[in-house]
Each structure stands twice: as C-alpha cells, then as structure tokens.
Amino acid sequence: MDLRLALYELAAQHQLDATANQKLQQLAGLNREPQGLAYWLPRGVAVLAAALGGFGVILWIAANWDTLGRFGRFALLQALFALVCAGALLKPVARAPLGLLALLAIGALFAYFGQTYQTGADPWQLFAVWALLALPLALSVRSDVLWTPWALIVVTGVSLWIHAHTAHRWRVEPQDLGGYAIGWSATLALTLALSPVLKRWSGAGAWALRTTVTLSTIMITSVALGGLFHSSVASLYWLGVLLLVLAGMGLASRQLFEIFGLSAVSLGLNTLLIIGLGRALFHNSRGDNWFGAMLLLGLVAAGMLAGTVSLLLRLSRRYATPGATA
C-alpha cells in the first residue's frame, strides 16, 4: 500500500485543512531525509566512481593500444596501482573505494600481461594469482567493497579450474567426480572464511558471504542436475545434495545464521530434491499413470516449499535478538 495515497485518503475522510494535512505529512515523515542517507550516499558514490574509474582506465588503454608502447602500458597500470594504494594508506576515509580501484588495477595488469606475453597459462591460474595478490589488500581494507569482488574472483577461478580439469569441455563424466568435489569443497571453504566466524580477522560482512553462498549454490546445483540425468555419474547428484545439506546446517546455526544465504541454499536443495523425485517418478515410465505422478510431485513440491519457508521464518524469529547475526 502506498503511504502517500493512504494519507490523502485519510485527509479526505476527515476533511483536514491545509495546515492539518501538512502536519499529518510531517508526522508520517514523507518529507524527511531517509535514515542513513547522509552516511551511505557519499560512500556509494565513491565506490561507484572507483569501479567506473578502473573500467575507464582499461578502456582508455584499449583505445590507445597502438599509441602506447609495451613499456608505457605496463608503466601506466603499475603507476595507477601504486598511486591508489598510496592514497588508501594516506586517506582512511577513501580507503574502500581506492582499494577497489587497486583491485581492478591488479586484474587489468594481469590481463595485459597474459595478452602480451602469451605464457600459455590456463585462465584459472591468472585468477588464482589475482586473488592471492589482492588478499593482503582485502585484509588491510577490511570492507565488503573489496571482499565481494574478491569472492567473485575466487569462485570464477575455481570454476575455471574445474573446467581445465574436465578436458576444457564442462563435461560430466565419472572420472570428473574428484575434480568437482575439490572445487565444490573450495567454495564451501571460502564461504566459511568469509563468514562471521572469521570476521574478527577478515572484516568481511554480509554481502561477501551472500555472494559466495549464491555463486557456490548455483555451481553445485547446476552440475548436480547434470549428474542426475547421467546414469553413470549419479554420485555427483548425491554429492551435491550432501554438500548443500551441510551448508544449510551450517548457515542455520546461530553462529553462521544468514537468512539470504540460507534461503539460496534451501532453494538449491529443494530444486535438486524435487527434480530428483521427478526423475524417479517418470524414469522408464510408460506414461499410464502420469497424472498421479504429476499430482504427487506437485504435492511434494508444495509441501517442501511450505516447510522450508516455515523453517526459515522460525529460525529468523529465534535469532532476531540484539547482537545476533540476523
């Protein structure tokens, strides 16, 4: 319901004059500055400016590719990185946006290095080195402005590592079970590293954790579904279900509770279980009882969804106390 329209209806119902109507709007806070705007607006603009600035530098180098020599390109990227790091060290207020710009400068430097020298390294190795070199920067800034893109870099590197160890084909074969298990375990370890358990050392907040959980859930769910429809690698499906169950149990605890992340994991787990039930009902079926199977599948899906929502609401109320993670 729109608050302003409700106030207009209330004023018309009680036939308020202009003075009383203005006082009613003041009491409702319609003309009041949103809470936290003075704090978040300049910081949000600074982060956006840093992201656009880093992207602009990359585009400027691409536009002047022929006029800048190899030394000039490297010097420009390295000078930009050194300059923003010095600015972050000397100006704590702008540390987060300048740190983000430094993170982007590292990526641009490695991208140009890989394009210039053609080292033959797999793309996941560049992302791994990028994440490793940016880790001290993220630990120093201690802000989600850096931890969130850093988590994206790490998960991308893990995905590319899996791709490199599955014959560069994104295949789902029995011999790839170990590679997927290692990659998925790495993403869950990253989730734990960015969780409130280690916040004292990392300084990571909710958005870094949400990014990691969401990307990990998408990765595990998509591959596990591929394993479900491939009879020889059904173990990938059960491994995905097991990992999502473990992740859900961890995020449901008081120490790690995060409603967004738990909702994402629950959605992935529900998807795997419902589609798995659907395959069990319709696999090798002659279609003579398809209506009953569809009805059963719909009832189970509705029941699982209702149970999941009820559980999430119960946990949210239980942990919604002062000082709790929720």
Q: What is the pLDDT of residues 254-296, one digit of tens each?
A: 888 889 999 999 999 999 999 999 888 887 666 667 778 888 9
Please check the confidence at residue 7 and state whether its pLDDT lies above 80. Answer: no
The predicted model gives 117-143 an average pLDDT of 87
Q: What is the pLDDT of residues 211-236, one digit of tens each?
A: 999 999 999 999 999 888 876 667 88
Please check the confidence at residue 18 and state whether its pLDDT lies above 60. Answer: yes
Please check the confidence at residue 31 and state whether its pLDDT lies above 70. Answer: no
Please check the confidence at residue 209 and state whether its pLDDT lies above 60. Answer: yes
* DSSP collapsed to 3 states, the chain: CCHHHHHHHHHHHHCCCHHHHHHHHHHHCCCCCCCCHHHHHHHHHHHHHHHHHHHHHHHHHHHCCCCCCHHHHHHHHHHHHHHHHHHHHHCHHHHHHHHHHHHHHHHHHHHHHHHHHCCCCCHHHHHHHHHHHHHHHHHHHCCHHHHHHHHHHHHHHHHHHHHHCCCCCCCCCHHHHHHHHHHHHHHHHHHHHCCHHHHHHHCCCHHHHHHHHHHHHHHHHHHHHHHHCCHHHHHHHHHHHHHHHHHHHHHCCCCCCCHHHHHHHHHHHHHHHHHHHHHHHHCCCCCCCHHHHHHHHHHHHHHHHHHHHHHHHHHHHHHCCCCCCC
Q: What is the pLDDT of residues 302-315, one digit of tens each?
A: 999 999 999 999 99
The long-range contacts involving 177-186, CB below 8 angstroms and separated by at least 24 positions, are 177/233, 177/235, 177/236, 177/239, 180/223, 180/236, 180/239, 181/239, 183/158, 183/159, 183/219, 184/216, 184/219, 184/220, 184/239, 184/240, 184/243, 185/243, 186/158
Q: What is the pLDDT of residues 71-120, one digit of tens each?
A: 777 887 888 888 888 888 888 888 888 888 889 888 888 877 777 777 67
pTM: 0.79
Please check the confidence at residue 130 and state whether its pLDDT lies above 60. Answer: yes
Please report the pLDDT score of residue 39 as a whole number.
67
The predicted model gives 60-65 an average pLDDT of 70
